[in-house]
Amino acid sequence: MSKKVVVISTSLRAGSNSNALAEQFAAGAKEAGHKVEFISLRGKEIKFCIGCLSCQKTGTCVFKDDVLPIMDSVLNADVVCWATPIYYYEMSGQMKTLIDRMNAMYPKDYRFRDIYLLTTAADDDLNSPKRAEMGLGGWIECFDKSELKGRVFCGGVDGPREIDGNAKLKEAYEMGKRV
Stretch 44-63: mean pLDDT:
94
DSSP letters spanning 153-175: EEES--STTTTTT-HHHHHHHHH
pLDDT class of 103 with cuts at 50, 70, 90: very high
Residue 81 has a pLDDT of 99
Report field, pTM of the whole predicted structure over 0.95: yes
Closest CA to 172 of 40, 163, 58, 146: 163
Q: What is the mean pLDDT of residues 50-64?
A: 92
Task: Using the CB atoms, write b or e for 109-133: b if 16+ within 10 Å.
Answer: ebebebbbbbbbbeeeeeebbeebe
Say yes or no to pLDDT of 161 above 90. yes
Please give the CATH superfamily to which domain 4-177 belongs: Flavodoxin domain (3.40.50.360)
Chain segment 72-88, per-residue pLDDT in tens = 999 999 999 999 999 99
Alpha-carbon distance of 140 to 163, in angstroms, equals 28
1 pLDDT tier (thresholds 50, 70, 90): confident
Q: Residue 36's closest CA among 8, 55, 56? A: 8
pLDDT number for residue 127: 96
Residue 29: CB atoms within 10 A of its CB come to 28
pLDDT tens track for 124-153: 999 999 999 999 999 999 999 999 999 999
Instruction: Map out the domains of the chain as residue ranges.
Output: 4-177
Tell me if 30 sits within 8 A of 101, measured CB to CB. no
| pLDDT for the residue numbered 54 | 94
Averaged pLDDT, 26-55 = 97
Position 107 confidence tier, pLDDT thresholds 50, 70, 90: confident
**Which pLDDT does position 59 carry in this prediction?**
85
